[in-house]
Structure 1
């Protein structure tokens, strides 16, 4: 396996080679840098972008398109959440160079979310396993019907069962195993049900597990728990500058429903923070015992464990590198290493926010892609909205109101940014045209 720097130049990990959807993969050819035939849509595909940027719709109607990656030749792999026509992975190709997919093939008879590309293999996950497909010299899958099973037997208890993952430059594979619970109560999401102390879920879920990318049929016993106290991680990427793993976590729910005497509906709609964590080995982010309150800027004790919304934790739990408003659903994370975008974006982080479902009676929030500037492997400024307009409506009372929900991010070989939507299966491509 080539080192991470070389892999990034080829495919930027899982984000550069292909587009991944939850239960299937799609591969689409990208237009090479500098191709004069590439033109953005007049309305930028419905997106609102910073000055100087444009967008085009590469493909749509792909089903529940989840994470994705783009090949060195511009082909896009998209992972579908659900199998359609026997295919959980779809390959899109652009044969005429206009930036839009005009050829579609597929494979992979399993659902899931995660996908990753290096120069030798395409990796993809179901909700219990991670598979590996050998690639030829052109980056094409050699035998789509016979992948290796790299990891098997991961927990799937329906709640938080997606298995996003990434691979570092040393051949280590990091996979999210989400907690199948909101706050580790005896009866999940039930008012008055006591919390379990200690939380037994953390033995096999609620964290990041590390395996070898070159292993075969590894199980829990072949890997190790790399980080814990994470309710559910959807965005996961390796930061080359910091030589460290970063993840985005979905925070817990139901503060008002379970503890109306402590939290009003507004507090429950905006707390706790959605968090970007830097994860060194052995990190503990505190779930389910604590959560991060972005308004008080502190780690507070969860009400199930004796908290009152103000009591600060005295344990040595990890604080977020960046804290976002609650319930926005950060579904993917990408460190941008391309050369197309202006310098401020170099090595910064893009986060795709899938959008909330539980902010009522407040309006729902998210449904956009944010950007965080980084310097020397650490956040260097405030986060900002980069791409908006996915929802297609001004006010979102319920998730079903949104026409599109961002899910996956990928970097193309020319530095384009690809974004997937898992409502209508739309794939967007954002390019920088100059100006600002």
Structure 2
């Protein structure tokens, strides 16, 4: 064989071998961890741990380019937003961080990354690869939001018409004269509702807005951490954290078991002007009724005024719903399309009854409305049933995001793990 021809054949063979190797590696793609990252999932699903941040990871977003932006409850090394980048195997490395503030809210929309502290909302311009251009020079969209010593985080979401929605949690349990006090009555008219206890709407592209520039879009919501925009019916849905202390404040009315089970954690479908009724009522998922709160003359049987909004779905009490995501991807089976995933962070206040939660549930939807019973989708974040019952969970699910391929990401704000759930059954 001609020497030049031999060189050509060898070079071509080498190129083909290298190409085949990388094609094989690419075809292998993202695989679940052998133990599914410790999670229990429905048949056909797997999970992997994408990264360990070592921080209190709250909400997150994932870009089509494989970047993950994670909002931290408190800054780590002076950074309140972590940026990670994924390899072809789905594992991610920390590539940077910015924002010297803690908080929960983060959202990606129309070329901007939006993020919140406990008093402000910022936005960062993105380039065509969805990378933040000037991480040290965010624009302030909203300033001076009310913050108390509880329910202070500002979750956020955007609609398709340039509007920003922000949760302003009530800095109170049930608007009592003495917060969480023994038989302390509710404050008449609940003055807290003027600046908290609801969802406020602002313009997404207007700088330095305050309460006066916004609209109190919905009220009577004690605290919302998980929220999302439903694209099917173009509507805001939120998960409310129900009130506490029924037994400790009103032991003559509620025993410890009733206090552990009540009230429901509620999913609400909101429209402008809606009032969900906090603090004047709570929803009893056992009686399937809106019940007048004891602080306002309730006796656990007296029904509240029908003018207040009914929940779309009521879930067991004190499980702390911290994440809500409508699934629009193509990876999961058809039953999941347009349904809702909800991350229940887990209870702390059901003792002496067992604590509950520490899982992600799936709520079926049809035509933009809940349809059918909810089911536990991802479980065992706690590590063992015993740890869950004792409230000593290893991990607590918080934020939810959908990847470009349709996989589901879950944060843990206890140890800072980031999970990715994939469908593996062909």
TM-score band, normalised by shorter chain: over 0.9
Alignment TM-score, normalising by the size of structure 2: 0.93
d(CA) in 2 for partners of 1:119, 1:281: 23
Q: Under a length normalisation based on structure 1, what TM-score does the superposition of the two structures give?
A: 0.90
- Distance in 1 (alpha carbons) for counterparts of 2:402 and 2:157: 14
CA-CA distance at 1:35 after TM superposition: 4.9
- Looking at both structures, which has the greater relative contact order when contacts are Cα pairs under 8 Å and sequence separation is at least 6? 1
Where does residue 153 of structure 1 map in the other structure? Answer: 144
The residue number in structure 2 matching 1:20 is: none
Preserved CA contact (<8 Å) 2:82 2:94: no
Aligned-partner SS, 2:28: coil
Match of 2:58 among 55, 60, 66: 66
Q: What pairs with 1:160-199 in structure 2 (closer than 5 Å)?
A: 160-199=151-190
Q: Secondary structure at the match of 2:385?
A: coil
Residue in 2 that maps onto 1:49: 41
Instruction: Work out the CA distance in 2 between the residues paired with 1:334 and 1:37.
Output: 25
- Name the SS of the counterpart of 2:260 in structure 1: helix
Is structure 2 residue 69 aligned with structure 1 residue 80?
Answer: no
Structure 1 residues 108-152: Cα deviation after superposition (integer angstroms, max 9, x where no partner)? 100100000024100000000000000011110000000000001
Question: Match for 2:273 among 272, 277, 282?
Answer: 282
Aligned to 1:90: 82
In the alignment, is the contact (CA less than 8 A) between 2:183 and 2:295 conserved in 1? no
- Give 1:314's aligned residue: 305
Secondary structure of 2:275's match? coil
Q: CA deviation at 1:393?
A: 1.8
The correspondence for 1:405, drawn from 377, 396, 403, is 396
The answer as to whether partners of 1:348 and 1:371 remain within 8 angstroms in 2 is yes
Which of 260, 263, 266 is the equivalent residue of 2:257?
266
Cα drift, residue 267 of structure 1: 0.4
3-state SS in 1 of match to 2:193:
helix
The aligned residue for residue 377 of structure 2 is 386
Rounded Cα–Cα distance in structure 1 between residues aligned with 2:93 and 2:186: 53
Question: Structure 2: which 5+ residue stretches go unaligned?
Answer: 1-25
Q: 1:35 to 1:210 in 2, by over 3 A?
A: farther
Matches within 5 A, 1:4-15: none
Which structure's CA Rg is the greater one? 2
Question: Matched residues in 2 for 1:117 and 1:223: separation?
Answer: 21
* Match of residue 373 from structure 1: 364
Superposed counterparts of 1:212-361, under 5 Å = 212-361=203-352
Give the root-mean-square deviation of aligned CA atoms.
1.0
The 8 Å contact of residues 178 and 230 in structure 1, kept in 2 or not, is answered as yes
* Structure with a larger share of its residues in helix: 2
Distance 1:60 1:345 in 2: 28
Number of matched pairs: 400
Q: Which residue of 2 aligns with 1:110?
A: 101
Give the Å deviation of 1:314.
2.5
- Paired position in structure 2 for 1:31: none
What do the CA deviations read for 1:375-415 (whole angstroms, capped 9, x no partner)?
Answer: 1000111000000010002123443x100000000000000
Contact kept in structure 1, 2:356 and 2:389, CA below 8 Å:
no
| One of 408, 412, 415 as aligned partner of 1:424 | 415
Structure 2 residue 28 is matched with structure 1 residue 36: yes
Q: Does the 8 Å CA contact 2:410/2:418 hold for their aligned counterparts? A: yes
Gaps of 5+ in 1: 1-33
Q: Partners of 1:76 and 1:101 in 2: how far apart? A: 8
Q: Where do 4+ consecutive residues of structure 1 move more than 3 Å?
A: none
Q: What does the per-residue CA deviation read over 1:47-90, in whole Å, with 9 as the maximum and x for residues that have no partner?
A: 00000000000001330000000011121110000111110000
